[in-house]
Amino acid sequence: MFSPTALRPRYAKWLIATGLFLMLSGCVDKPNTLERVKEDGVLRVITRNSPATYFQDRNGETGFEYELVKRFADDLGVELKIETADNLDDLFNQVGKPNGPVLAAAGLVSSEQRKKQVRFSHSYLEVTPQVIYRNGQSRPTDAGDLVGKKIMVLKGSTHAEQLAELKKKYPGIEYEESDAVEVVDLLRMVDEGQIDLTLVDSNEVAMNQVYFPNIQVAFDLGDASNQSWAVAAGEDNSLLNEINAYLDKVQKNGTLQRLKDRYYGHVDVLGYMGATTFAQHLQQRLPKYEQHFKNYAKKEKVDWRLLAAIGYQESLWQPAVTSKTGVRGLMMLTQNTAQAMGVSNRLDPKQSIMGGAKYLAYMKDQLDESIQEPDRTWFALAAYNVGSGHLDDARKLAAKEGLNPDKWLDVKKILPRLSEKKWFSKTRYGYARGGEPVHFVANIRRYYDILTWVTQPQLEGDQVAEGNLHVPGIDKTKPNQETPPL
């Protein structure tokens, strides 16, 4: 039997070992934010429900910020979970809360006040704050002209901070901050004369110009700013470093530019006057023919908004036009095409739309099976414009150049060459104004974008007041038809 004296060394060793184990256990680092995201398999992101950030259409979730952050989640190999904030103050308060969003992606501009709450990533979009007024009213030209005007801005926005600073110099400036509206509401209120002025970033003006024909930019208020994502304040840089690496990557590989073109490029195509005119025609002309577009698009299994976009590109929704080359009607059909599609009177808008729908469906059916959506739709549009023979020529040239003949991004680089002798001399069908179908498809994609946004349901709840035009919102109904993504 062991004596107490003999047990003491063993007991002491046991105490030491146990103590070391407990000390080491206490030194194990807790997982950082990035590790937790990967362990959970979920990236939780908070954003705003607006056309420039995040909304749902018939195909599901979309929006510039959504698509950018979805690619980030895919890069991390995790699921993306989106939640929307009722207002900007709520958005910043939610970032970093336990089991809450770890990232805010909502078209945010950094400011000294905001830096006290969150940390910002590298920038991905440059925007300029702009003063918006109603056409026909006296145009403000500088900050002093804001005195005496009825002004409203988003509560908690950097625009509110700008006005607070201006008020120190111009005490007569009065403005209201509201958390019951979104940018589209502010623009609509100016458009309808409910308020005199608002402040909106240039990217959102560009996106929404086509919806509100009476709004105009008065002047830029200050210098350009950079939009960034935001993460919780603190010393954990794991997620922020990963975000910055991702944003740098998409900047270099062209992904970011493609998204900018997708969401904001229509203004570059349309121009200011084109956007204003389109907004007017949406209200004045489209309603006369909308049901015909819907009926024949459904019959031919194409998206009615795509068909309407073609009609606008071809005739500005005018049924009695005739071009110098002899094409006529709302869908500008040639005589041969009209006959082939069963159209006896090209100036009858109903017949013209029927013929256009049948012809678009026919063009899609004629394409090689190797061409998949969404490229199949863009190829069909190009063939609608330039003919399938010239399109085939361009695809063959693309293949010879080492490009993918089944991808529109590749073939559209080649199409303009069909007007150059050194290129069209190598083709079966010869010369073509190959630049035209490229512009044709680009324009239609912009019109289609706008029609898609305009025809979505209103935002739910009290965020958006009712207006004459629909804006993108949350549609809870399950999509019943697939539309090719842009």
Q: Which residues contact 411 (CB under 8 A, 6 or more apart)?
A: 379, 382, 391, 394, 395, 398, 403, 405
* Cβ count near 438 (within 10 Å): 21
d(Cα 224, Cα 127) in Å, to the nearest integer?
5
| Among 285, 298, 277, 456, CA closest to 307 | 298
d(Cα 23, Cα 17) in Å, to the nearest integer?
10
How far is CA 81 from each of CA 42, 127, 263, rounded to the nearest angstrom?
Answer: 7, 27, 22
Tokens of 330: 């709302």
Catalytic residue, chosen from 61, 79, 314, 420, is: 314
d(Cα 15, Cα 123) in Å, to the nearest integer?
55
Q: Is 221 strand, coil or helix? A: coil
> In this structure, which amino acid lies at residue 245?
A
Tokens 């700013």 appear where? Answer: 225
Q: Is 219 strand, coil or helix? A: strand
The verdict on whether 83 is a catalytic residue reads no
Tokens 């950018």 appear where? Answer: 68
d(Cα 132, Cα 186) in Å, to the nearest integer?
9
**Using CB atoms within 10 A of its CB, is residue 246 exposed (0-12), middle (13-18) or buried (19+)?**
buried
d(Cα 124, Cα 64) in Å, to the nearest integer?
11
Catalytic residues: 314
